[in-house]
Amino acid sequence: MYDPLIDKATNMTHIYNDFSNPSTHVQDHYDYSDDSAPSDDGELFPRVHMAAKAALGLSYTLMIPVCGIGNLLLCCVIYRFRRMRTTTNLLIGNLALSDFIVAAVVAPFNFFYYLHQTWPFGEAMCVTVGFLKATSFYVSINSLLAIAIDRYIIIMHPLKPRMTTYTACFVLCFIWVFSLAIVIPTALYSGTHDYYFNGGGENIHVTQCSERWPNSKAMKAYTLVLVIGEFLLPLTIMSVTYFLIARKLWFRRVPGGHATEQQEMAAESSKRRTVRLLIIVVALFAFCWAPYHMFAIMRDIVFPSYQESHLTLFLTVFYLVEALAMSNSMFNTLIYVVFNANVRKYVLQIPDSCRRLKPSDKATVRYWHPLATRTSSHCMRSSVRSSQLRTNTTSISTRLTINLNRPTSCSSGPQSGTVHDLKC
């Protein structure tokens, strides 16, 4: 661990900025002084409190399998079962996709980076991982906002037409395009930077993956835009919409005015469960992201020079807020996948739906076409489901009855006195 008192004006700020990977402004190049050597414990960077390391490690260890497996199953359910392809589920599926990207692509690289404090994967992966991390986070936030607005329209205005599938697809495309656009500065200013340390007669090479902004004003403006547009505004809208939904559900009565005691108890239980879930969604969003954005404001705008003399404290706080922000993806998976009885039911049906039926297990099929002819090479069969043929006045359903005693001829070859059963 380097002495935090050595060259505070240059080295400390640069160590912190490159390690924590924030949107920061640094000069073109810094050289570590020759007397900056590792401490007795061999660490290259200021010591981070063990509790902060444990919190970050626990967050990543739980988030990777929970988000990876849970969100993948949800995407499979939405793809496999047509009944699950509602507009609300499409928005939830978009949230699951963004959280899956974080768990499967971003988290393993970042976990290694925070653990070993060096980036050995090259500059292309540095830019890609940083870009995907920021994009997935903002897609997740904007998807939560879209889900809140969709629920508000459904519950508060039930007579208005619901969002169509085309509208939902347009909303999803807009969320991704908007999230990709606001993360462009991250890709532009991200890159790897090599540093060489001379300590104890041994040359130490460390590669950092970080952002380098051209000036501090641009960095501060970008930080403010992200805090307001991707935290305060979504949090305000979600809080207002869920408050109005909870108030309407809480005071809603069973229609008809003649509800039995059992019906009233069931309605009361449903209302409490729904209101509790809405409160949990907003509370977890604020709990996970508020410290992260407050830390960014303090670091980049309020006390930009305070970190120079309290580098260890800043790194410890960064580990804690990073752990909370990453855990929000895991909480989303638990709420919308693990604790969702409907999703669990369809997940259990995935093996059966993918298993091919044996010929003997196939059900009797209804046919509409009156002819079933065979050529010399194969039999041409024509059938239409009864539900697909309807007239304006009647819907007729008949079974095709084939007289087994009547021979069927092919274009070439002898006549046959038997017709095989036709199965789909």
Tens of pLDDT along 402-416? 443 444 444 444 444
User: For a pLDDT cut of 90, what percent of the chain falls above it?
Assistant: 35
The boundaries of the domain holding residue 211 are 8-352
Q: Same domain, yes or no, for 151 and 230?
A: yes
Confidence bin at 200 (pLDDT 50/70/90): low
Q: Same domain, yes or no, for 233 and 257?
A: yes
Q: Is residue 2 part of a domain?
A: no
Confidence bin at 375 (pLDDT 50/70/90): very low
pTM: 0.70
Q: Is residue 323 part of a domain?
A: yes
Residue at token pair 């039999």 = 379
Q: Same domain, yes or no, for 393 and 367?
A: yes
Task: Look at residue 181 and tell me whether its pLDDT is greater than 90.
Answer: yes
Q: Same domain, yes or no, for 328 and 396?
A: no
Q: Same domain, yes or no, for 301 and 421?
A: no
Confidence bin at 311 (pLDDT 50/70/90): confident
* Residue 363 exposed, middle or buried by CB count within 10 Å (0-12, 13-18, 19+): exposed
Q: Which residues contact 74 (CB under 8 A, 6 or more apart)?
A: 92, 93, 96, 336, 337, 343
HSE of 62, CA atoms in CB hemisphere, 13 A? 16
Higher pLDDT, 11 or 46: 46
Confidence bin at 284 (pLDDT 50/70/90): very high
Report the run of H or E that residue 199 belongs to, with start and end.
Answer: strand 190-199
**What's the confidence (pLDDT) of residue 386?**
40
Q: Same domain, yes or no, for 290 and 321?
A: yes
Task: Look at residue 87 and tell me whether its pLDDT is greater than 70.
Answer: yes
What is the b/e burial string over 68-80, where b = at least 16 CB atoms within 10 angstroms of the residue's CB?
bbbbbbbbebbee
CA distance 211 to 207: 13
Q: Same domain, yes or no, for 194 and 317?
A: yes
Q: Same domain, yes or no, for 348 and 377?
A: no
Q: How far is CA 288 from CA 138, 226, 254, 293, 326, in A?
A: 14, 16, 37, 10, 8
> What average pLDDT does the structure give for the chain?
74
Specify the amino acid at residue 314: F
Confidence bin at 27 (pLDDT 50/70/90): very low
Q: Same domain, yes or no, for 92 and 191?
A: yes
**What's the confidence (pLDDT) of residue 238?**
93
**What's the confidence (pLDDT) of residue 215?**
84
Higher pLDDT, 300 or 271: 300
Q: Is residue 1 part of a domain?
A: no
Q: Same domain, yes or no, for 318 and 396?
A: no
Q: Which of 352, 377, 409 is the last residue of a domain?
A: 352
Number of domains in the chain: 2
**What's the confidence (pLDDT) of residue 53?**
86
Residue range 96-155, pLDDT digits in tens: 999 999 999 999 999 998 888 789 999 999 999 999 999 999 999 999 999 999 989 988
Q: Which of 329, 352, 375 is the last residue of a domain?
A: 352
Q: Same domain, yes or no, for 379 and 231?
A: no
Work out the average pLDDT over 387-398.
41
Q: Same domain, yes or no, for 405 and 296?
A: no
Task: Look at residue 232 and tell me whether its pLDDT is greater than 90.
Answer: yes
Q: Is residue 343 part of a domain?
A: yes
CA distance 194 to 18: 11
The CATH number of residue 313's host domain is 1.20.1070.10
Residue range 342-353, pLDDT digits in tens: 888 888 888 887
Q: Which of 307, 335, 352 is the last residue of a domain?
A: 352
User: For a pLDDT cut of 70, what percent of the chain falls above it?
Assistant: 68
